[in-house]
A and B are shown apart, each in its own frame.
Chain A
Amino acid sequence: MKLKNILLKTVLPLAVIAVALPLISSCNDLLRNKPLGEQTSETFFQTQQDAIDATNASYQILRDWQVHVFSYLGLTDIISDDANKGSTPTDAPFLLELDNLNYDAGNLAFNDPWTGYYKGVYRTNLAIQNIPNINMDQNLKDRLIAENRFLRAYFYFFLERGWQDIPLVTQPLKPSQYYNQPNATPDSVYAQIIRDLEYGIAHLPEKSQYSADDLGRATKGAAEGMLAKVYLYMQDYQNAQKYAEMVINSGQYSLLADYNQIFTRAGENSSGTIFSVQCTATSTNEGGSQFNQVQGVRGNPNLGWGFNNPSKNLITSFETGDPRQEATVLFVWEELPDGTGRAVHKNPNMVDEHYNQKAFVSDTHPGGQGDGPGNIRILRYSDVLLIAAEAALQNGDAPTAQKYLNMVRSRARGGRTATIGISFENVTPIIADTLKLTQQNGKPMIRYVWPNSAAAQAGMKSFSYQLVNNDSQIFVDTLDIIQSVNGQAVNNTTDYVNAMKNVTPGQNITVTYLEVTQTYNTSTQNVTTNTQTVVSTFPAMSLLPDIKSTGTTLLHDIWHERRSELAMEQHRWFTLLRANKVESNWAVQEMAKDGKTFTQKNTVFPIPQTEIDLSNGSLKQNPLW
């Protein structure tokens, strides 16, 4: 009994305490977990490597779907007169609303780029805020901050041009600031962009100063060129010219001789590249983007989804014989520009089927379709030349304007000065086989004959065809294949180019071509192929002659050159909006030519309704919406 009482009164309480004590003393350790396998804010932004890693992450967002892929194409090309939605008629109807200019604030296309560009702003803000506190090489530190500030300026430049009165966030927001950001004025946004780019100019190396491994990072020239463009949009032409000429005079850039080469894989980072989003395809999907896939050939060959189709308005807008038309547009039955000999087959489910050749990449890479290797061109040297030209004109210096403009045109001519007024491409094996004209394989066939051109007057015709039964069988209404020029045999497109190099405008030339036509007997379902060799002699026309105009004509010429040179490179819509401010109703007229009704509303994108909702009313919708 006694023992029990002792136990009751002493042992048990002691046992309880004995159990409790170690738990209490150890609990702080038990409960102090750190995230596993992940660095945290406490351990990041400590070392030089962290600064580099964070900066790389700022570049990574450039490859993102939200930033440079689907809706982005909608808000830049499809909405403009350059492109149609593409794909099958009913795929992605919200992009069709953009194409038809009948979108509203609920349109999905406004969400993604808005979100993606602000993600970019956040990443760069974080890096700009934290890198200064890292103990590291000062030059590298300055450069990394400058790279981030360049990228931040790029993100804001897109947002500003699209939405105008946007929240201006220059530091990572605290929780108390999430829901109360107001609209900032365009002036304050531009002021921030200019500060960032000036910092970039001060601290970024020139392209040639970087080590080779850093190819693709933001450069001093990129910051200068971007700032020139910013000033152009602000209509500050003095500064626009100044910064553009800094690029031009830097000796870092030149126009690549062959325009066609720029958009091939080999042409990536060539001499005219000032800034582009670097992509690569790996089998582990780490470095690609979907930029190529969404614009890729839909059907056969199966390269993508076929969005963002060059419009007929764009195709016909090129000056007579402009070789850039052929470099911009990938037509049906055209040989793929990848040397595989494959042609684009007609896909009956597509309307007005043409593809953006500038976004073409072959499927012969280790990544999947969704992991395209093609770099996304952001700023090219010819763009800077055209900025300089336009700014010089506005500054009253037409000769300088002409000089820069004609540099661009000269390169576009590709060593020729004369044209008969056609675009041409190789006869592909499938066409040659279908028409049983295998000896014509590889010869230049006429794709497009400019109206009123010499070739048109001589009776040459654009390629036209009809589809029979399914997508592999065509029958041809007209197909003209060039056989010789001025007696020189033409067995391939190079022969044709070389033959034309010796021709001067006005000179009479003799062109021999094979005209192929087919007739289809609907009752017997028989197809009859007729061929006829035609010899025509007519005066050659001038190809992209140097511009000597001044005043408003020159301004319009520069704008037209900008369209031809930079077609399908996602610049057109903002150019239209800008030009519309310089010359009222310009966009209205231009868009009308493409059958689109441009109204005041279209000068600014609506802010996504979800943003207005989530900001608790502090963010206001643009009054036009």
Chain B
Amino acid sequence: MTKNKIQTLILFFILVSWSSVFASVSSQVNNQEFIEKSALSGKNQWNRFANHNLNDSGADLSARRVLQRQTTIQGNVTDAITGDPLPGVNIFVPGTTIGTSTDNNGQYSLNVPENADTLAFSYIGYITQRVAINNRTQIDIQLEPTTITSSQIVVVGYGTQRKSDLTGSISTVKGTDVSRIPTTNVDNALQGQIAGVQITPNSGQPGTPATIRIRGVGTLNNASPIYVVDGMITNDISYLNPEDVQSVEVLKDASATAIYGSRGANGVIIITTKKGTIDQKVQINFNGYYGWQDIQHKISLTNASQYATLVNELNANEGRPPTFQDPNSLGQGTNWQNEVYKTAPTQNYNMSVSGGTDKLTYNISGNYVGQKGIISGSQYKRMSLRVNNDYFFTKNLKVGHNIAYMHDYQQEAAPGVVGQAYQADPTKNPFTSNGDYNNITQNAPVGNPLATIFYNSNRHYANRIVGNIYAQLSVLNNFQVKTSFGLDSWQKDWKTFNPQYFVSPIQQAQHSQLNVNNENSRNWLWENTITYKNSFGFNNVQLLAGITAQGFKDEILSGSRQDIAGNGSNPALWYLNAGNQQSQSNSNAAYNWNMLSYLFRANYNYQNRYLLTATYRIDGSSRFGSANRYGHFPSVAVGWRLSNEPFLRNSEYISNLKLRASWGKIGNDKITAYPGIPTVSSNLNAVFGPNETINYGATIISLANPDIRWEQTRQTDIGLEAGFLKDRLSLEVDYYHKYTDGILVQAPIPAYVGASNIPYVNAASVINRGFDFNVSWDQTVSGFHYTVGVVASTVHNEVDKLGQGQDAIFAGGTGEGGKLATRTVVGGPIGAFYGYKVVGVFQSQDEITQYNDQAVAAAKQNGTYDPNKTYTYEPGAVPGDLIFQDTDGDGTITSTDRTYIGSPIPSFIYGVHLSASYKGFDFSVTTSGQTGNKIYNAKKTARFGTPNFETSYLDRWNGQGTSNSEPRLTNGGMNYNVSTRFLEDGAYFTIRNIQLGYNLPRSLTQQVNVRGIKVYLNVENLVTFTKYSGYTPQISGSTISENGIGQTSTNVLDSGIDHGVYPIARTFSVGVNIRF
């Protein structure tokens, strides 16, 4: 795509937009304004979305034919509860096309034939009424709202819909439920609030986003959903201020996500930010909190004397003299976790101003977040500013923008410090008597974590602008044309600096070194849609067509130098020019991708009872070769609102009942930019000549697959929505079945292939199925209001087939030697843990001999017995070693005895939410949990040297009868094979958040001219109930780099493997919210 072509395209759109403006001006000749109420924007918010008008178009022509014999009926329509006039209500004569709608004041006037006997009043969000005319000329009607939930307006892809009209599975979280939780990231705040959504914090490092899985893992690849923020499609929402969020919609089934085609397979999260409303007085809102974080859970590690005891015993087992003369004299020693993890403050201040006139609405907000990490030196700061304005140029033309600017600053925890705190030798002091950092490597080749923190500087700065500008034009009343241009421009700079220092041979730098990186990514999205909306009697139709184009480019420029002046003691010298020019190196790399898409959607409903949605999207992506460049993504869904049927309409108990079903096909293109093209790696240099000259070298060491195509998911969803007792009790249940075909796998390949990078192949098919439940109870009893909500979902994950003659995909390298801990096979879950089953510990040589007899017996049984051969059950085993199960029954333990030992995917995910308020007080609790998954404690298997032990090692076998589960002490060997020894139960239940708030009495606040003041106390991550021994059972897997630049994703083939994550913090905070 050349620049010229893009410019041509832009020009075309401007022309089209102008021609539309022209068309709209001419249509104003007979314009009757129609305003739709948008529940999204709150009760007073008007959205000048021109709606249909039955007096226009064909309908009024037929009305004129019956002009002679008609009477005029007029009246007003109001809300039965509030008494407010309702504009835009449809009034028509059933069985004819005669009708009108109410004006801004809820007034209407309609000429009806004399023989007409009934009028029907229908309005979005209200129960349709039929009224006998009985010769009246004045009919005033009060419309009853349908229940709260069913009248909600829900944001869907490229538009909004009444929740009652939805045929897809969409979960909504209100902005208040997001901002209520004091966290810097929106995704962290969603945990436990949405059925079918598993949210796992990747790390406790401030500023790190979470991993999100919607309805299981439908891919072997990047399984993260996409985000659509005010229409802008992005992979990252770390810039978002949770306070700015108006609502979060999670699109789960194919009917909802297919409009996003190739992007939707892992689900779509739509985030809408707050706007001002028309005719709204200025509202100023301040919210701030200050909190204290500390480590939620420490790992139980041995103290100095325990460690020394174990080391001596280990030495004896491995044939070395004891290291420590008198272990008992060493006492507690150094608790490295206490040295590394400290209490750290967090703070967040937010100020917003919003309001509107009939020409303009605005919402301006500013936010400052400052969070220190519980590992000293790590911190995150973010300043953001958002301006969301709409300008009403004419009655038909609205122009608006949602623009956010963010500047953030992150200091990452020093690399490796979490592992060092876990492994460091407890018998060593952090400091020498001179106050220097102590060399602690004599027994364990592990650096001094405090020195690591001190000598490491890793600073990220970023500036990011995300937003879109759009123009929306109403044409011919039924049409709405919208063009929107969005941009996500993200400039990231980071510097790492290490001074010249020496602590120990493995912890030193001979030269100070500065690395500077600048990364620029630019993501543009241009969307053009036309919407047509009309009603024909009881038939309501909405059509959408659009063309969108998106482009992404990322470029990174980096350089480094050594020997920074003054050994870098002054950060003012952390610039390349302050280093030795001889040592300079630089690099520059980039990648890009583009997409072009066509989308169509039709919504139809009859009498608001029978609903139909059909969508179709065609996506073209530059990632794929020309043969497979386009993907087609259809979906269809039906719904039946039983509660609108006459037999239920007046039910005392059932306030809402809807059945829906959907089917659709969606894609996943989350892979590298050029998976089909092998690239040449440069700087593979050789040295030749008497002067040792560097000779440039380059070749193709990364493999690629030119034949790869879209990964496709077919999803079926059957759902039931119900409300009882005026929706006091509401219930939503979905059954889903996702079948993902042609999964793009970057499956490990044998080393003998010789490649340095693994190509993608369309290799496997995976089924995810299960139920999502969402139940809530909402009641007010004499001023006491309380709600109880439960979300839950089940996941059954199963691989249906593997391609390319593959029997299994091994992955999940752990411990010394990268032993593969997972094996994905047909019939099992993705990334299933695979290893030996431990059945005990050999207590004595006699027991080993007994087991060897089994080997003899097995050989005799299968006729291979040779009396001259010695048969051993477990080769090399000595008393104290683990006994593995002979799963293949051949009498001897070999690699074929490894078997399925557990799944990393939870079978049940749930969250419970409680809230209550009474007078000025409110109280809420959010919890989440999961069961059915295992965690592989890989950090425990990595014993390169003799690092510190988890206290579970104290239960080791050290003589007959001492243990039948923990083997004798060794640093390697068979006891470190992948086995159930290191597999732990991953179930947990965590109290995510508790908040207690108090609203100061209005009498008090009025005296200081303030609308309201709320003070609150909040506890985040108070306690986690789990059997897992690590810092947290919320293990998302190892982080891999996509394209080697910037982005990270999580490889599902190694999920649930704990290599040692930055621990999650518990936070106590106090806050105040003031509304002016």
Q: Which of B274-282, B324-332, B679-687, B1054-1062 is the contact stretch?
A: B679-687
| 8 Å CB contact of B5 from A26, A37, A366, A615 | A26
User: Quick one: which of A257-308 are within 8 Å of B by CB?
Assistant: 269, 278-280, 282-287, 298-299, 302, 304-306
User: Quick one: which of A153-172 are within 8 Å of B by CB?
Assistant: 166-167, 169, 172
Knowing A32-B622, A615-B750 are in contact, say whether A100-B971 is a contact too (CB < 8 A): no
B interface: dominant SS = mixed
A238 to B804, CA, bound (A): 47
Question: Could you tell me if A179 and B805 are in contact, using CB atoms closer than 8 angstroms?
Answer: yes
* Chain B residues with CB under 8 A of A42: 677
Among B583, B690, B820, B972, residue most surrounded by chain A Cβ atoms (within 10 Å): B972
Q: Please give the distance in Å from A503's CB to the nearest CB on chain B.
A: 39
Question: Could you tell me if B752 and A118 are in contact, using CB atoms closer than 8 angstroms?
Answer: yes
Question: Could you tell me if B319 and A7 are in contact, using CB atoms closer than 8 angstroms?
Answer: no
A519 in contact (CB, < 8 A): no
Q: Please give the distance in Å from A32's CB to the nearest CB on chain B.
A: 6
Question: Could you tell me if A278 and B13 are in contact, using CB atoms closer than 8 angstroms?
Answer: no
Q: Please give the distance in Å from B791's CB to the nearest CB on chain A.
A: 39
Q: Please give the distance in Å from A376's CB to the nearest CB on chain B.
A: 11
Question: Could you tell me if B749 and A178 are in contact, using CB atoms closer than 8 angstroms?
Answer: yes
Question: Could you tell me if B319 and A287 are in contact, using CB atoms closer than 8 angstroms?
Answer: no
Q: Please give the distance in Å from A545's CB to the nearest CB on chain B.
A: 38
B590 in contact (CB, < 8 A): yes
Knowing A212-B689, A284-B583, A284-B584 are in contact, say whether A88-B683 is a contact too (CB < 8 A): no
Question: Could you tell me if B696 and A613 are in contact, using CB atoms closer than 8 angstroms?
Answer: no
Knowing A118-B752, A175-B759 are in contact, say whether A57-B698 is a contact too (CB < 8 A): yes
Question: Could you tell me if A19 and B944 are in contact, using CB atoms closer than 8 angstroms?
Answer: no
Knowing A7-B27, A44-B700, A286-B685 are in contact, say whether A366-B582 is a contact too (CB < 8 A): yes
Among B585, B698, B751, B973, residue most surrounded by chain A Cβ atoms (within 10 Å): B751
Question: Could you tell me if B506 and A305 are in contact, using CB atoms closer than 8 angstroms?
Answer: yes
Question: Could you tell me if B705 and A175 are in contact, using CB atoms closer than 8 angstroms?
Answer: yes
A126 in contact (CB, < 8 A): yes
Q: Please give the distance in Å from A511's CB to the nearest CB on chain B.
A: 39
* Chain B residues with CB under 8 A of A609: 819-820, 895
User: Quick one: which of A550-609 are within 8 Å of B by CB?
Assistant: 608-609
| 8 Å CB contact of A4 from B27, B584, B592, B753 | B27
| 8 Å CB contact of B808 from A38, A122, A616 | A616
* Chain B residues with CB under 8 A of A35: 591, 673-674, 677, 679
Q: Which of B224-232, B442-450, B632-640, B650-658 is the contact stretch?
A: B442-450
Question: Could you tell me if B12 and A97 are in contact, using CB atoms closer than 8 angstroms?
Answer: no
Question: Could you tell me if A167 and B12 are in contact, using CB atoms closer than 8 angstroms?
Answer: no
Knowing A54-B699, A60-B697, A175-B761 are in contact, say whether A106-B26 is a contact too (CB < 8 A): no
* Chain B residues with CB under 8 A of A614: 748-750, 810
Q: Please give the distance in Å from A16's CB to the nearest CB on chain B.
A: 6
Question: Could you tell me if A56 and B16 are in contact, using CB atoms closer than 8 angstroms?
Answer: no
A535 in contact (CB, < 8 A): no
* Chain B residues with CB under 8 A of A167: 750, 752
Knowing A23-B549, A615-B750 are in contact, say whether A30-B5 is a contact too (CB < 8 A): yes
Question: Could you tell me if A91 and B944 are in contact, using CB atoms closer than 8 angstroms?
Answer: yes
Among A23, A167, A366, residue most surrounded by chain B Cβ atoms (within 10 Å): A23
User: Quick one: which of B524-548 are within 8 Å of A by CB?
Assistant: 528, 530, 545, 547
Question: Could you tell me if B693 and A213 are in contact, using CB atoms closer than 8 angstroms?
Answer: yes
User: Quick one: which of B604-649 are within 8 Å of A by CB?
Assistant: 620-622, 626, 629
B887 in contact (CB, < 8 A): no
Among A36, A107, A298, A619, residue most surrounded by chain B Cβ atoms (within 10 Å): A36
Q: Which of A214-222, A337-345, A393-401, A460-468 is the contact stretch?
A: A214-222
| 8 Å CB contact of A179 from B509, B621, B749 | B749
Knowing A91-B944, A108-B817 are in contact, say whether A215-B688 is a contact too (CB < 8 A): yes
A373 to B691, CA, bound (A): 12
Question: Could you tell me if B977 and A57 are in contact, using CB atoms closer than 8 angstroms?
Answer: no
User: Quick one: which of A100-118 are within 8 Å of B by CB?
Assistant: 100, 102, 104-108, 110-111, 114-115, 118
| 8 Å CB contact of A53 from B598, B697, B705, B756 | B697
B127 in contact (CB, < 8 A): no
Q: Please give the distance in Å from B41's CB to the nearest CB on chain A.
A: 28
Question: Could you tell me if B622 and A36 are in contact, using CB atoms closer than 8 angstroms?
Answer: no
* Chain B residues with CB under 8 A of A282: 694
Chain B 470-503 interface 0/1 with A at a Cβ cutoff of 8 Å (1 = within)? 0000011001010000000000000000000010
Chain B 574-593 interface 0/1 with A at a Cβ cutoff of 8 Å (1 = within)? 00000010111100111111
Knowing A23-B547, A92-B944 are in contact, say whether A29-B759 is a contact too (CB < 8 A): no
Tell me the nearest residue of chain B to A281, going by C-beta.
B692
Question: Could you tell me if B588 and A37 are in contact, using CB atoms closer than 8 angstroms?
Answer: yes
* Chain B residues with CB under 8 A of A53: 696-699
Knowing A39-B680, A41-B700 are in contact, say whether A278-B589 is a contact too (CB < 8 A): no
* Chain B residues with CB under 8 A of A37: 588-590
**A contact residues, range:** 35 or more
Question: Could you tell me if A56 and B696 are in contact, using CB atoms closer than 8 angstroms?
Answer: yes
* Chain B residues with CB under 8 A of A414: none
Knowing A27-B620, A106-B819 are in contact, say whether A1-B30 is a contact too (CB < 8 A): yes
Chain A 42-53 interface 0/1 with B at a Cβ cutoff of 8 Å (1 = within)? 111000001011
B958 in contact (CB, < 8 A): no
* Chain B residues with CB under 8 A of A373: 692
* Chain B residues with CB under 8 A of A115: 751
* Chain B residues with CB under 8 A of A283: 511, 562, 580, 582-583
A505 in contact (CB, < 8 A): no
| 8 Å CB contact of A56 from B476, B509, B686 | B686
* Chain A residues with CB under 8 A of B806: 179, 616
Question: Could you tell me if B817 and A54 are in contact, using CB atoms closer than 8 angstroms?
Answer: no
* Chain B residues with CB under 8 A of A349: 441-442
A610 to B704, CA, bound (A): 22
Question: Could you tell me if B547 and A31 are in contact, using CB atoms closer than 8 angstroms?
Answer: no
Question: Could you tell me if A57 and B697 are in contact, using CB atoms closer than 8 angstroms?
Answer: yes
A487 in contact (CB, < 8 A): no
User: Quick one: which of B232-276 are within 8 Å of A by CB?
Assistant: none
Tell me the nearest residue of chain A to B761, going by C-beta.
A175
Question: Could you tell me if A214 and B585 are in contact, using CB atoms closer than 8 angstroms?
Answer: no
Question: Could you tell me if B679 and A119 are in contact, using CB atoms closer than 8 angstroms?
Answer: no
A181 in contact (CB, < 8 A): yes
Q: Please give the distance in Å from B127's CB to the nearest CB on chain A.
A: 33
Tell me the nearest residue of chain A to B677, going by C-beta.
A40
A36 to B806, CA, bound (A): 33
| 8 Å CB contact of A123 from B585, B626, B754, B823 | B754
Q: Please give the distance in Å from B721's CB to the nearest CB on chain A.
A: 35
Q: Please give the distance in Å from A290's CB to the nearest CB on chain B.
A: 13
A42 to B700, CA, bound (A): 11
A506 in contact (CB, < 8 A): no
A256 to B1024, CA, bound (A): 71
A373 to B698, CA, bound (A): 21
A104 to B816, CA, bound (A): 12
B316 in contact (CB, < 8 A): no
Tell me the nearest residue of chain B to A371, going by C-beta.
B510
A527 in contact (CB, < 8 A): no
| 8 Å CB contact of A39 from B27, B693, B698 | B698
Spell out B's residues near A (CB within 8 Å).
Answer: 1-2, 5, 8-9, 12-13, 15-16, 19-20, 23, 26-27, 29-30, 56, 311, 315, 318-320, 323, 441-445, 475-476, 479, 481, 502, 505-506, 508-511, 528, 530, 545, 547, 549, 551, 553, 555, 562, 580, 582-585, 588-596, 598, 620-622, 626, 629, 673-674, 677-690, 692-701, 703-705, 748-756, 759, 761, 804-808, 810, 813, 816-820, 823, 876, 895, 943-946, 971-974, 976-977
20 pairs of residues in contact across A and B, judged by CB atoms under 8 Å: A7-B476, A19-B16, A36-B590, A41-B679, A57-B684, A57-B701, A91-B441, A93-B944, A106-B976, A107-B817, A111-B818, A122-B754, A122-B755, A126-B699, A216-B687, A278-B688, A286-B694, A610-B751, A613-B808, A619-B750
Given A175-B761, A179-B805, A299-B505; 6 other pairs, CB 8 A cutoff: A16-B545, A18-B16, A94-B972, A173-B754, A283-B582, A611-B750
